[in-house]
């Protein structure tokens, strides 16, 4: 008999729509394969829904804040029901760009130079800090958003306009802009599943490039890299997955420049939409969408 699966999607983060899409795509695939499925929002009725539906596994399809930062994971732990993806602490570490990048540096994984900023400097002090530590152009981003939400490439002309637009965040990160190629790597537990290269028409692989079908980002599944370099980036992603303590599936985002891979971040709950990369990588390596979902569910059922 097929298991009962509760999918949690939606939420209140800026990635709500992506989460809803992920939830619907996963539910559709599971229903096609005779699973009993229910979709729920992570609101105050979650406990009631869980007790009434009695799922065998909870598929966490949430993205962004409160969904992949350890918050919902902490709540799910109280129900003693297997749930997908990483646990509370690894999720929190991966979501916090400052903590994860410090961890990358500690374990000698290349990542772009950076510093954090708490809106406590004058304009001239900020310019001086950028000039001395990073040089223009720079990337500015929130510490705990996903899907490239509010990520900008800044130069001297637009820096203060962009910084002022981010003041609702307590803290942001300034990062050295790395040109070069966009490489993404999928890890499934102990398996280095594969990689994909992205060629966005936009300046970089931002929110629009990821989710707007009109953005026309080119996906290259057969990457033009020597085998040893491809193996190198797969190994780096695997190491990062293990260092953070991730479980299930992760997708690591890299820039490849001057022969070096720079790890930007590790995503503990990569999307499962029609434009998502992990299902595309999986399909290329002979794993269908339903097999990928079933692998994630089976992995969730293993002892944490």
Q: Give the active site residues.
A: 15, 147, 211, 251, 253, 265, 267, 271
Answer yes or no: are the C-beta atoms of 49 and 260 closer than 8 Å: no
Terminal-residue alpha carbon distance, the chain: 24
Q: Which of 1, 52, 4, 8 is nearest to 31 (CA)?
A: 4
For the beta carbon of residue 253, count every other beta carbon within 10 angstroms.
20
What span, in angstroms and rounded, lies between the C-alpha atoms of 44 and 48? 8
Contact (CB, 8 A) for 238 and 231? no
Inter-residue contact 114 to 176 (CB < 8 Å): yes
Nearest to 206 by CA among 140, 109, 266, 116: 140
Maximum distance among all Cα pairs of the chain, rounded to whole angstroms: 66
Q: Cα(135)–Cα(48) distance, rounded to whole angstroms?
A: 53
Distance CA 76, CA 81 (A): 7
How many CB atoms sit inside 10 A of residue 202's CB? 14
């Amino acid at each position: 008999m097929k298991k009962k699966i509760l999918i949690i999607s939606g939420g209140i983060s800026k990635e709500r729509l992506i989460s809803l899409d992920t939830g619907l795509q996963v539910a559709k695939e599971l229903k096609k394969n005779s699973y009993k499925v229910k979709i729920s929002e992570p609101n105050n009725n979650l406990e009631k829904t869980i007790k009434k539906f009695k799922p065998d596994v909870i598929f966490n399809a949430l993205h962004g804040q409160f969904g992949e930062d350890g918050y919902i994971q902490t709540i799910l732990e109280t129900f003693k029901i297997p749930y997908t993806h990483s646990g509370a602490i690894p999720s929190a570490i991966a979501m916090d760009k400052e903590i994860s990048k410090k961890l990358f540096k500690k374990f000698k994984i290349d990542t772009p130079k950076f510093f954090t900023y708490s809106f406590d400097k004058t304009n001239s002090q900020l310019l001086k800090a950028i000039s001395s530590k990073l040089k223009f152009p720079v990337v500015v981003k929130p510490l705990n958003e996903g899907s490239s939400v509010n990520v900008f490439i800044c130069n001297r002309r637009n820096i203060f306009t962009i910084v002022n637009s981010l003041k609702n965040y307590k803290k942001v990160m300034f990062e050295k802009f790395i040109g070069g190629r966009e490489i993404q790597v999928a890890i499934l537990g102990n398996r280095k599943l594969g990689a994909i290269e992205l060629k966005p028409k936009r300046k970089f692989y931002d929110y629009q490039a990821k989710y707007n079908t009109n953005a026309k980002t080119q996906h290259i599944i057969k990457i033009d890299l020597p085998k040893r370099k491809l193996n190198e980036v797969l190994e780096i992603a695997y190491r990062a997955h293990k260092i953070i303590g991730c479980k299930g599936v992760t997708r690591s985002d890299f820039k490849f420049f001057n022969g070096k891979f720079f790890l930007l971040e590790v995503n503990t709950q990569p999307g499962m939409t029609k434009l998502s990369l992990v299902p595309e990588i999986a399909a290329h390596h002979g794993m269908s969408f339903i097999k990928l979902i079933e692998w994630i569910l089976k992995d969730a059922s293993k002892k944490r």
